A and B are shown apart, each in its own frame.
Chain A
Amino acid sequence: MHIPQELRYTREHEWIRLEADGTAVVGITDFAQSELGDIVFVELKPVGTELEQNAVFGTVEAVKTVSELYLPVAGQIIAHNEAVIQDPALINRDPYGAGWLIRIQPRDPAQIEGLLSAEEYQSMIGVR
């Protein structure tokens, strides 16, 4: 199971990456996509939506299941990954790259420091 060192994680299996310009990119983990199976539909709250930490920012649907997406830190959605809306299987193929979900403007970037590190996330999901 791939868990990149440079990302931060939530207990709900989202990852977040702070960019040099102060925005942050959010997606779901390799573990999450593997648990879900074939992802066939992604629905995201509109660009411009302001959300609190842990608020639902959308849903991903696999063939058999629906899962809500939780925002790792408070902020405003500034972009969707349009490619993933068109081709949700990108999340299965490349969860940390082409399968990213949204870009946000974090309200308080320090919140990111409070999230799980790669090691902590790894121990949470257990050795698989």
Chain B
Amino acid sequence: MQNLRKRTPLYHRHLEAGARMVPFAGFEMPLHYRGIVEEHRAVRQRAGLFDISHMGEFLIRGPRAGEFVQYVTTNDISRLTDGRAQYSLFCREHGGIVDDLIVYRITASEYLLVVNAANIAKDLAYLIEHNSMGADLVDISEETALLALQGPASAAILRRLLADPDPEQIPYYHFRKLTGGRFLGCRRALISATGYTGEPGFELYMEAERAPAVWDALLEAGQDLGLVPCGLGARDTLRLEMGYCLYGNEISEDTHPYEAGLGWVVKLEKGPFVGREALQRIRQSPPSRRLVGFRLQQRAIPRSGYAITDAEGRRIGQVTSGSHSPILEVGIGMGYVETAFAEPGSQIWIAIRDRLVPAEVVKPPFIERRP
């Protein structure tokens, strides 16, 4: 069978806009349109529009939907009310991370789970395996489009297309469900004040057929405010400047939440959930390695897989993500290091080709946080 790459509903918009397309998680996605640095700065200073329709969406419904979501995720959904969202994890019984996700509580008996594109099939299998409650589980990834409008001008742009509710009035990690065409003719839209850039902004879910019209309307509404289409390249450098984990880089089935600095989304006291016993055990012994952020002290760029060493060149860890920071204009990265080197201010070295480049451990975000 031919292994065809999937396309989002905006594929032709990307080609028309001159995007450089790259394979990502089985999809053909835009890497950049005008350039990663320019798009990155647009998001920090004005606004950017991303097509992230490759992401996976599952609907969980039924009288035991909440009980099921509580059992398969590490965070505590009893803290959610209708219209609120939460960052969370799926973990294996041994504590390894299956995926990171956002849980939306639409009602007490309906939840939306948004997962990484590369993990859709694996996550679905994980959910089915643990669904002894018999909750309705529907994969709506194919028919759902997702756009991210990110940057300080986002609310002003969205307000031009949506009077009620006022986008400015949706607090961070809250959302509104708008049905029956209330948002640009969409039958079902969900406007969520979330994102992966560190800037104020929105993630907009809608049926796939409406995505091109919504994309066009947003770009037109935001043109005079400097809105530009942005690709996955800028999405990655923006999240890295904030120190956000990327599944497959910082976190995987071989990492657990505590060493990754994600202990804050594991609520051991909430009751039974998959991985709880292992995570309780892991938490009691201090981790042997920790995920840290670091900033190079000489001009160079760290990359995923490079060794992290001490002054003598002894290997103490490995880079998980690295790039040039378009805002700081220095090399920045994240990686696991032995716990003794994990304190902010620690001196480490990155092995880049034939030399050791000095770097300082810093606590992300690398730039000032604004939302």
Contacts and interface: CB of A to CB of B under 8 A. Distances in A.
B301 A66 contact: yes
B35 A37 contact: yes
Interface stretch (A3-11, A38-46, A76-84, A97-105): A38-46
Contact of A37 (B32, B236, B303): B32
Interface residues of B, number: 19
Interface of A: 37-38, 40-41, 43, 59, 61-64, 66, 89, 92
A63 B324 contact: yes
A41 B301 contact: yes
A38 B301 contact: no
A81 to B, nearest CB: 15
B20 A40 contact: no
Contacts of A40: 37, 301, 324, 326
B299 interface: yes
Given A37-B20, A37-B32, A37-B233, A63 B299 contact: no
Given A40-B301, A64-B233, A66-B303, A59 B35 contact: no
Contact of B37 (A38, A41, A59): A38
10 tightest A-B contacts by CB? A40-B324, A63-B36, A38-B37, A38-B35, A61-B301, A41-B301, A38-B36, A63-B324, A64-B233, A63-B323
B237 A63 contact: yes
5 contacts: A38-B35, A38-B38, A43-B300, A63-B36, A64-B36
A63 B300 CA distance: 11
A66 B302 CA distance: 10
B299 A41 contact: yes
Interface in B253-305: 299-301, 303
Contacts of B300: 41, 43
B36 A37 contact: yes
Nearest to A42: B299
A41 B233 CA distance: 17
Given A43-B300, A63-B237, A64-B236, 7 more contacts: A37-B31, A40-B301, A40-B326, A62-B36, A63-B37, A66-B301, A92-B35
Contacts of A64: 31, 36, 233, 236, 323
Nearest to B237: A63
B353 interface: yes
Contacts of B353: 59
B24 to A, nearest CB: 12
Interface of B: 20, 31-32, 35-38, 233, 236-237, 299-301, 303, 323-324, 326, 331, 353
A66 B300 CA distance: 11
A61 to B, nearest CB: 5
B30 to A, nearest CB: 12
B22 to A, nearest CB: 9
Contacts of B236: 64
Nearest to B355: A43
A92 B237 CA distance: 19
Nearest to A63: B36
A37, A63, A89: residue with the most chain B Cβ atoms closer than 10 Å: A63
B35 to A, nearest CB: 5
A38 B32 CA distance: 10
A40, A41, A61: residue with the most chain B Cβ atoms closer than 10 Å: A40
Nearest to A41: B301
Contacts of A63: 36-37, 233, 237, 323-324, 326
A86 B32 CA distance: 24
A123 B35 CA distance: 26
Contacts of B37: 38, 40, 63, 89
Nearest to A65: B303
Contacts of A38: 35-38
Nearest to B323: A63
B35, B38, B331: residue with the most chain A Cβ atoms closer than 10 Å: B35
A41, A64, A66, A92: residue with the most chain B Cβ atoms closer than 10 Å: A64
